Structure 1
Amino acid sequence: MMSYTYPLPELSDYDISGKTGFLPEELPVTRLPAYYESWENTVAVLPALLLTKRIRSVVDKFEVLDTSRLETEPQWRRAYSVLGFLSHAYIWGVDVPTNKLPVQLAKPWVEISDHLRIPPIATYAGLCLWNWQEILPLDGEYEDEDAFLDNLRTISTFTGSTDESWFYLVSVYFEYRCAPCIRTGLNAIRYARNDQPEKVTECLKELAESIDYLGSVLMKMEEMCDPHVFYFKLRPYLAGWKNMESAGLPNGVYYGDEKEPRLLSGGSNAQSSSIQTLDLLLNVNHMATGESTADGHSHANPFMSEMRSYMPGKHADFLEHLSKVNIIRDYVMKNASKNKELVLAYDASVAMLKIFRDKHIRIVTRYIVIQAQKEKTMGSEGVQKSTLRAGLAKSNNTNKVLRGTGGTALLPFLKQCRDETGNTAAGSWGRRLLSVKEKEIVVIEEKVEGKSGKKSDAANAFSLISTMTDNVKNQNSW
């Protein structure tokens, strides 16, 4: 239950930076100490080993290394990331996936995962948060924030392709640009506690503009990541071993000598703590996909809750703390009758988060849905012969529900998240505006362009809601 008196979270207590958000402010370690050179030397040539299908024979010769020689948190994170790449390559990197992860990888990976409080699977953290470095040593000092992405490169990849690196780095940049959202959101909560509506309004306007930019960051994916390369060459390696019957792993994977297999989801944007932070700040509630109780009320979405367990432990702890103090919507609703601008600012932030999710659906449609249709046209056998890839892109049953690397039914989940975002609007007109269908959104966007000229999405959302509010004041629609 949210509280007006429970202490606000201190970012430093949760390995969060006011400057870089959920990214480590200290640059990630790019190579482990010499004791772990067998891991590092192998991941350095991973694209070649996958091309020649030698990854399993090389890993099988490893010795079981002792994790006690990892001395710092950045080293633990690097080890986790390296073993994630090696393990997924081992499982998926030959034509027929294997359901047994050798003890040489499994034992240290489980130990490292326990230390970091994160599952032994290739997560968003291992692929993105802890897998980047600067091209030039600027130590995080940039003339402007846009220069951050231009000075990034990945440490490890499966394919060695620019497309794969760009896929990870856009997510890194997304996390970097989400840092202002975290700061601004916590400030809004602080001002709400002090009953300063003007300050809360200013924070919400700033939050809307920051979320607006996140949508632009997401669309950068199209600049240097080809959808065909992503779907057929990279995505198979990102898959986990949960709900992967059609890809050849019906019962998960056995880790070393463990008697029971583990069923774990692969890397997913739902594992981004930033996205769940935005939902919490704006009090967006996600329900179970397509399900409702007998009385018509839906249960909380178990997938969103489950994804917190795939985040670094301290980041998940932060979300739990934030859920106890996220009073913004409650404050807006209590002041709605006497402060229309506060409601508009809140609804503009909600509108921008909904627009962000619309853009995410567009990306998913282009990079996964359309590519899956190509797979059906080519036929499963044709895909196997032309790509020589395993996993999701070689499913034997093209009639099943299209699933993400996290194992969810992809489009129904994303569309419901988008619609639930719109339902959060505080004003009645805002709710009506944000519940319109996609075709109506296009018409509205055209009207905005006609009324306002060229503006940011955030400015458009705010001005459009304001204009429509003026039109319905006499109808008491608020």
Structure 2
Amino acid sequence: MGSRSLLAGAGQLMKKGGTLPSQTTDRLDTSTLAAADFDVDVRSGFLPPEQPLTRLPGPTFDVQNLEFGDPQPSLWECMLDWAKSIPLTFSSQYSDAAQSAAAQKWRNAIRAMPVTSLTEADMGHIKTVRRACVVLAFLSHFYMHAQIDVGQYETDPDKARSATQDAISKIPWSNLYGLRDSAAYAESYGEYVNKLPSGLAIPFVAVSERLGLPPVLTYATTVLWNWTLKDASKGLTPSNMEIKEMFTNTGSESHFFLTSLLIELQGVEALTLMRISLNEAFAVDKLAEERITCYLKELANVIRKLTVLLSRMQDSCDPDTFYWDIRPWFKTGDATFTESNKSRVPGWILEGVSSERSLWTGPSAGQSTLIHALDLFLDVDHARIKRQPSDVSSGQTNSDSTFMERMQLYMPSHHRAFLRHLQHGISTEPVCGPPKDNGADAEWSDHPIRALVLQCQWSGPNHPLVHAYDEALRALRALRDEHMRIAVQYIVHPARRGPRDIKSSEEQKQKQTQTQDEDVIRGTGGTDLVNFLRVCRKNTTDAMSHFT
């Protein structure tokens, strides 16, 4: 069977939701890019095709009275319900004494919670495992960040010491005596800071390993598996989807996650165009060129739709609310510190699992498999080893490539496999492009789409396929431009303005000076945010047949 007929037949199996039999061929099968092997669905892309489980099955526990009984995973749901009912605040900042006491009681209960795990049978049900991962991720971040601020977010020892003294000064003297409030006293001295109790840590690690994820909050647990349908009969439509779990239960947080969710849903069109384009690329004839030209133009339109969706972030998500109220809950071990040998060291300790500190980073848009797939399909070279960059004097390193690779560690294992297949498992005979106008060496490529572009470049830069390829890249660059604008609006500007509760203009000025003097403003993934986005944009430009 020829390559093209094999691909066409495989595509039919994929459309039916089947998996492909092993066949011997000199060209790797690209139609599996949407097959079950990679947990990519033709209807929903990287989202599950059916509504995620909204609650783990099992009995309801009287957790507020510490009645754990015979613990089952539904206990985690009860603890999450309790956390949301209080509601918990970041760093235990309460003006209401009753709310503060309830939060203290919840933290005590988390530490007393027995270890329970999913059964072997439950581990075989993907919807159950995903729901467990979502619940445990939110519980873990609720617990770690609802504790009293004793300087765990400060790298500077003096600032940390000051925060600890401030926390101790707020404890009533009655708390120094009697066992009832001893936990509050211990918390104020940082006894539990950066320690995830075994009742959460052990099952969280287990379900995370089952899914190929690290035991922290990720894009998958906040977006991909964190939604429900308003009306199950209406199916997957943008107006019928809503976010299930949140930290602040605000409209801003809901809209923030929902924006990413709708981008993933819109991205299904892009994945379909990528698959059929790769199928055609191996035909290497005039008809294939014409079809791929049309597909690339359509892809550019889809990417523009993604850009519009991203721009709508500002419709219902307030920048200050996001930066000061929502974003802090995303912090993980790389952003929290404790004392060790008279120095500040980062990391979370997962009790009952390991004595080594966990240094995972928080959820980030960089963990979206869709954006990585677009880069790989259009052969955007973040490592900057394939072609001459447009600005050789910039002095930039390939740290953005390292970041992009690291973000794949936070994707479900099947989605990582999808990207590996797209990057390394699909290639064609190497093609050499025409000589460069600037005297640089002609480019060679075995990337199916890029190789076809190089081949068409021999006919001139105005070849329809070359123009369509550059059009898709310009659309992707515009998406990155919008991402940079959103990042500046939601992270850079709030960071420089300072907290909203700063009273005097002098204090505001001091805060702005302090922010500008400190390390660069970083994204939730830990990058030098603005610089990273600029370099990604430049790499997208460099992939164009002409640097425009």
TM-score by length of structure 2 reads 0.69
| Structure 1 residues 358 and 396: alpha-carbon distance in aligned structure 2, compared to 1, 3 A threshold | closer
- Partner residue in 2 for 1:415: 534
| Structure 1 residues 336 and 231: alpha-carbon distance in aligned structure 2, compared to 1, 3 A threshold | same
Q: How far apart, CA to CA, are the structure 1 residues paired with 2:139 and 2:517?
A: 28
Shift of 1:186: 1.6
Q: Deviations over 1:400-428 (max 9, x none)?
A: 211111111111111111111111102x2
Q: Deviations over 1:344-388 (max 9, x none)?
A: 100000000000000001111111101001117966999xxxxxx
Q: Which has the higher Rg, Structure 1 or Structure 2?
A: 2
- Partner residue in 1 for 2:325: 233
Q: How far apart, CA to CA, are the structure 2 residues paired with 1:103 and 1:406?
A: 26
SS in 1 for 2:204: helix
- Partner residue in 1 for 2:67: none
- Structure 2, gaps ≥5 residues long: 1-24, 59-71, 90-99, 153-192, 385-390, 427-446, 506-513
**Match status 1:332 vs 2:459:** no
1:214 to 262, 282, 306: 306
Q: Which amino acid aligns with 2:467?
A: L
- Partner residue in 1 for 2:212: 117
Deviation beyond 6 Å, 4+ runs, structure 1: 376-382, 395-398
Shift of 1:250: 3.4
Shift of 1:43: 1.8
Q: How far apart, CA to CA, are the structure 1 residues paired with 2:300 and 2:493?
A: 31
**Match status 1:7 vs 2:29:** yes
- Partner residue in 1 for 2:380: 284
Q: Which amino acid aligns with 2:347?
A: G
Shift of 1:120: 0.5
Shift of 1:4: 8.3
- Partner residue in 2 for 1:85: 138
Q: Which amino acid aligns with 1:281?
A: F
- Partner residue in 2 for 1:470: none
1:275 to 371, 377, 387: 371
Tell me which moved more, 86-95 or 53-62.
53-62
Q: Which amino acid aligns with 1:369?
A: V
**Match status 1:320 vs 2:420:** yes
- Structure 1, gaps ≥5 residues long: 142-147, 383-394, 434-478
2:200 to 97, 105, 111: 105
Q: Which amino acid aligns with 1:133?
A: T
**Match status 1:365 vs 2:488:** yes
Q: Deviations over 1:299-333 (max 9, x none)?
A: 47211111111100000000000013252112111
| Structure 1 residues 100 and 398: alpha-carbon distance in aligned structure 2, compared to 1, 3 A threshold | farther
SS in 2 for 1:119: coil
2:411 to 291, 311, 316: 311
Of structures 1 and 2, the one scoring higher in RCO (CA 8 A, sep 6+) is 1
Q: How far apart, CA to CA, are the structure 1 residues paired with 2:496 and 2:412?
A: 35
Tell me which moved more, 249-258 or 155-164.
249-258
Q: How far apart, CA to CA, are the structure 2 residues paired with 1:297 and 1:93?
A: 39
- Partner residue in 2 for 1:64: 115
- Partner residue in 2 for 1:466: none
Q: Which amino acid aligns with 1:228?
A: D
1:165 to 254, 261, 265: 254
Shift of 1:27: 1.2
Contact preservation (8 Å) 2:211, 2:413: yes
SS in 1 for 2:206: helix
Contact preservation (8 Å) 1:50, 1:94: no
SS in 1 for 2:228: strand
Q: How far apart, CA to CA, are the structure 1 residues paired with 2:31 and 2:254?
A: 33
Q: How far apart, CA to CA, are the structure 2 residues paired with 1:381 and 1:176?
A: 45
Q: How far apart, CA to CA, are the structure 1 residues paired with 2:504 and 2:210?
A: 42
Q: Which amino acid aligns with 2:495?
A: A
| Structure 1 residues 45 and 377: alpha-carbon distance in aligned structure 2, compared to 1, 3 A threshold | closer
- Partner residue in 1 for 2:441: none
Q: How far apart, CA to CA, are the structure 2 residues paired with 1:265 and 1:221?
A: 23
Contact preservation (8 Å) 1:122, 1:266: yes
- Partner residue in 2 for 1:260: 356
User: 1:403-442, aligned counterparts within 5 Å?
Assistant: 403-426=522-545, 428=546, 431=547, 433=548
Sequence identity percentage: 33
Contact preservation (8 Å) 1:243, 1:250: no
Q: How far apart, CA to CA, are the structure 1 residues paired with 2:309 and 2:212?
A: 29
Q: How far apart, CA to CA, are the structure 2 residues paired with 1:178 and 1:9?
A: 17
Q: How far apart, CA to CA, are the structure 2 residues paired with 1:367 and 1:200?
A: 37
Q: How far apart, CA to CA, are the structure 2 residues paired with 1:64 and 1:380?
A: 46
Q: Which amino acid aligns with 2:521?
A: L
| Structure 1 residues 356 and 403: alpha-carbon distance in aligned structure 2, compared to 1, 3 A threshold | same
Contact preservation (8 Å) 2:457, 2:463: yes
Shift of 1:243: 5.0
Contact preservation (8 Å) 1:277, 1:319: yes
Q: How far apart, CA to CA, are the structure 1 residues paired with 2:515 and 2:132?
A: 34
SS in 2 for 1:242: helix
Contact preservation (8 Å) 1:44, 1:156: no
Contact preservation (8 Å) 1:21, 1:178: yes
Q: How far apart, CA to CA, are the structure 1 residues paired with 2:276 and 2:55?
A: 38
| Structure 1 residues 64 and 397: alpha-carbon distance in aligned structure 2, compared to 1, 3 A threshold | farther
**Match status 1:41 vs 2:57:** no
Shift of 1:298: 5.0
- Partner residue in 2 for 1:28: 52
Q: How far apart, CA to CA, are the structure 1 residues paired with 2:129 and 2:515?
A: 38
Q: How far apart, CA to CA, are the structure 1 residues paired with 2:532 and 2:515?
A: 23
Q: How far apart, CA to CA, are the structure 1 residues paired with 2:538 and 2:258?
A: 28
| Structure 1 residues 309 and 381: alpha-carbon distance in aligned structure 2, compared to 1, 3 A threshold | farther
Contact preservation (8 Å) 2:73, 2:118: no
Contact preservation (8 Å) 1:241, 1:249: no
Contact preservation (8 Å) 1:252, 1:261: yes
Contact preservation (8 Å) 2:470, 2:544: yes
Contact preservation (8 Å) 1:36, 1:65: yes
SS in 2 for 1:95: coil
TM-score by length of structure 1 reads 0.79
- Partner residue in 2 for 1:204: 296
- Partner residue in 2 for 1:128: 223
SS in 2 for 1:278: helix
Q: How far apart, CA to CA, are the structure 2 residues paired with 1:369 and 1:266?
A: 18
Q: What is the root-mean-square deviation in Å for CA atoms of aligned residues?
A: 3.0
**Match status 1:400 vs 2:519:** yes
Q: Which amino acid aligns with 2:53?
A: V
1:223 to 303, 306, 315: 315
- Partner residue in 2 for 1:347: 470
